[in-house]
Homo-oligomer: A and B are copies of this chain.
Amino acid sequence: MESWPPGGSGPAEAGRRLRDLRGADLAASASLLSGAGAEAGCSAPAVAAVLPAGGSGERMGVPTPKQFCPILERPLISYTLQALERVSWIKDIVVAVTGENMEAMKCIIQRYQHKGISLVESGVTRHRSIFNGLKALAEDQPNCRLSKPEVVIIHDAVRPFVEEDVLLKVVTAAKEHGHNACEVFTCPEDGHLGFHVLAVVNNAAVNMEAAGAIRPLVSTVISPSVDGCLDHSLERARHRASEMPQAFLFDVIYEAYQQCSDYDLEFGTECLHLALKYCHIKAKLIEGSPDLWKVTYKRDLYAAESIIKERISQQICVVMDTKEDEEHVGHRLEEMLKNELNHVKVTSGRDLQQIILEQCYNFVRVNVMTSDFEETQKLLNMLEESNLSILYPVVVISDEQKLQESLRHGATIIAALIKERNSGLIGQLLVA
């Protein structure tokens, strides 16, 4: 039996994996501890995230700022928030948006039922927006539900495919400060992130209080002269592109922003640089995956849409009238669909609510004996009431005498519709 719901590389899956491995992690860390002979400690740091989202999107060449551009009718930033809020140990997410976009952002939070989000007004530059986000976290006010975290993640609203894995790596590296190396685990009770102090490292100060994701350079970087000619080119292998997420001990990065010059706030682009310049700390660089890239140009929106389409088109739930249909036609259709899609679930409807809760985005209703669409309408209503925004109701399979052939063709049509999500075909009768 295949596991359900699927989603091998999704954030939710990463979370589950971590929790499943928790027992083994703890055992391993215990054995390491006894070997190293160091004092063991366990702390559960509060982790928050700041998302600057005040950009105007001028590079995109479209009037809508890129973080609000729709992908399959849902704004890009909503995918990023979803990726972050699925990580159980991120307690607060502070988003910095322009005053102009504040209401739109509130609507997005409500529409997609995002949780744990606070909004602050962005500044005129990226650094000023981040600073505003940090200020909101620093100010321990009675009426404010935010409290100062130990570690803060800084991420971009336009990097929607961030995985729990890399978030964990940057947070762990940022926490690996003072004299200690840590091992990380998630707490059984509340999903908090915990750290075991593993060992004193060489008795030397590591001073690692920041970390950020990097990627290899795709193009060689050059430096132009004032007259627009090549001055020199940089050795590609010795440089990296600094990406997001980054993580910092909160006090360190807040201090850096407070001390930072106006010039840096206006023209700087790199948070790790501020931490290094103003707080003299070392920043650990973590190799990230290609999916961390920043949605910058129109082509990046296309790429993001294709990636999302691919991810959500891998699973389908086939809803049959009766248990008998499920066993007869349903399972034969399942076999056909498995040639086209990774995860196929057939049900006669009892566990539908659960499947919707698990965020399956694709449903096919098959009527074998009846041409009564009342049950289909019920399914449509149920889906419309859910918060699955990327839905798309279609498909009738004409179940002819040549069942096998008909099912095979039906599976091809279903897969094609799911993969393309072509809304121009709603209401069409397609014949298998």
Contacts and interface: CB of A to CB of B under 8 A. Distances in A.
A233 B424 contact: no
Interface string A271-314: 01100100000111100001101101111101111110000000
A432 to B, nearest CB: 10
Nearest to A282: B229
A305 B223 CA distance: 32
A269 B224 contact: no
A423 interface: yes
Contacts of A232: 273, 276
Contacts of A416: 422-425
| Interface class of chain A by DSSP | mixed
A420 to B, nearest CB: 5
A252 to B, nearest CB: 14
Given A307-B302, A423-B416, A241 B229 contact: no
Contact of A230 (B272, B294, B300, B304): B272
Contacts of A297: 290, 293
A417 interface: yes
B420 A267 contact: no
Nearest to A208: B229
A369 interface: no
A326 B64 CA distance: 40
Nearest to A340: B424
Interface in A398-425: 412-413, 415-417, 420, 422-425
Contacts of A224: 214, 238, 240, 285
A80 to B, nearest CB: 16
A290 B236 CA distance: 21
Given A282-B229, A302-B307, A306-B299, A425 B429 contact: no
Contacts of A218: 241, 294, 296
A76 to B, nearest CB: 14
Interface string A186-230: 000000000000000000000010001011011111111000111
Contact of A283 (B61, B230, B425): B230
Contact of A302 (B59, B215, B272, B306): B306
Given A299-B306, A416-B423, A221 B233 contact: no
A234 interface: yes
A241 B241 CA distance: 11
Contact of A285 (B230, B272, B285): B230
Contacts of A306: 299, 302-303, 305-306
19 contacts: A214-B222, A220-B242, A220-B269, A220-B270, A221-B221, A221-B234, A222-B241, A224-B285, A228-B284, A230-B282, A232-B273, A233-B270, A234-B234, A237-B267, A290-B299, A299-B303, A302-B302, A302-B306, A413-B428
3 closest A-B pairs by beta carbon, nearest first, are A416-B424, A302-B306, A299-B303
